[in-house]
Amino acid sequence: MAHPLCGADPGTLLAVMRRAGPPEKPGAAAMIAFSVLARWPFSTAERLALAGRLPRAQEMPAPVFILGHWRSGTTHLYNIMVKSGAWGFVPPVATGLPWDLFGLARVFRPLLERALPEHRYIDNIPVTPDSPQEDEIAVANMSASSFYHGIYFPRAFDDLVRRGLFFDGCAEGEVERWKERFVYLMRKLHLHQGGRRLLIKNPVYTGRLALLREMFPDAKFIHIHRNPYDVFVSMRNFYKKLLAEFALQTYEHVDIDGTILDVYARMMDALETDAKDMPVDRYVELRYADLDARPLEAVEEIYRRLGLEGFKEARPKFESYLASVRSFEKNRFAYSDEAAAKVESRLGRFLDKWGYARPGAPSAPAAGERPREGESDASAKGQAGAA
């Protein structure tokens, strides 16, 4: 299978390699280099051809962003909401060939679709030509500021992940370049998706709420959170599988546990700060447990809280999709006292904030929360983010 970086531009590839060094896999390196250089004239031609066709950012309906740490249910929510047919989204072809979305991607679409994996590498969620994707792989093909470059080039893992998630060490010009490339991608997606309002899911943006509000003042946000114990053990699998599949350099030195805990804490601290003054019709929180147990009710509440239209008309489509995935088998991971102790030591304030407990143990209400009449403490936890 082709490496995702086959869809990059030469400048992005060179900028990352200046920091991390060249790939250590000659075959993959040759394939990436050939694809990047062979596509470059066509990518350039596409950018020139689209210069007068793309809408300006302020002419587009402001996107709705789904936020949440990886493995917190963002994909499940994205898959449900896109089934309405009213949203523009990120199709698989846009992640691999963001520079070539209207040219080479259309020419080679049948081949690209046949090359799609049957399911995602990190879990059993099916992948089809119409499956909505997070845009971070596309961003990694357009900008040197993406956490995926830490996975691709793990020799500089810590540096690239921090730069890609929090812009640590990035000069002002690098951040501005990321913003320009990101907005350009949104403009292309808006045209590609027929002018529909974009629904964008990317865990990276959980720590960038303030920046996204600055770029899209009328944007709306949905934050979904899940028990940090579950997130932690699932993220171990996430990193191990992605590194094994996509790393172009050795990665035995990578501290996966430390990365998970550090990133989670920084993301959630940033989100808490950035969301303090959010209007009630621009930002909504929900628990993955609520979405999992009562998906239709959870999605309806999102539509109501954010003032989104079309839930009633889309309800049959949501119901049909949910029926089709009812037998979906989730990944299951073993818990250990060692893993739980790490979570409690580093993420205890989030356990308290949302009222989470070790899996299998009774849950307390989130901080400052009281059960509703006729509701137990354990069941009340499912209402914490929707209040």
pLDDT digits (tens, 9 = 90+) for 1-11: 689 999 999 99
What range does the domain containing 364 cover? 355-387
Q: For residue 96, what are the CA distances in angstroms to 86, 125, 154, 268, 307?
A: 24, 18, 20, 29, 33
Both 47 and 132 in one domain: the answer is: yes
Both 122 and 212 in one domain: the answer is: yes
Q: How many domains does the chain have?
A: 2
Specify the higher pLDDT residue, 385 or 369: 369
Both 373 and 292 in one domain: the answer is: no
Both 125 and 268 in one domain: the answer is: yes
pLDDT at position 119 over 90? no
Both 330 and 274 in one domain: the answer is: yes
| Distance between CA atoms of residues 173 and 167, nearest Å | 11
* Arithmetic mean of pLDDT over the chain: 90
Both 24 and 136 in one domain: the answer is: yes
Q: Is 31 helix (H, G, I), strand (E, B) or coil?
A: helix
Backbone angles phi, psi at 271, to 5 degrees: -65, -45
Both 379 and 295 in one domain: the answer is: no
Backbone angles phi, psi at 197, to 5 degrees: -60, 135
Specify the higher pLDDT residue, 38 or 124: 38
| Distance between CA atoms of residues 116 and 129, nearest Å | 8
Contact 66, 201 (CB under 8 A): yes
At 328-360, the pLDDT tens digits run 666 566 778 999 999 999 999 999 999 999 887
pLDDT at position 233 over 90? yes
pLDDT at position 186 over 80? yes
Both 231 and 253 in one domain: the answer is: yes
Q: Say which range, 13-17, 93-97, 207-211, 221-225, has the weakest mean pLDDT.
A: 93-97
At 37-53, the pLDDT tens digits run 999 999 999 999 999 99
Query: How many CB atoms are located within 10 Å of the residue 361 CB?
Result: 11
CATH number of the domain enclosing 285: 3.40.50.300
Both 257 and 381 in one domain: the answer is: no
Both 257 and 373 in one domain: the answer is: no
Both 217 and 138 in one domain: the answer is: yes
Both 328 and 385 in one domain: the answer is: no
pLDDT band per the 50, 70, 90 thresholds, residue 130? confident
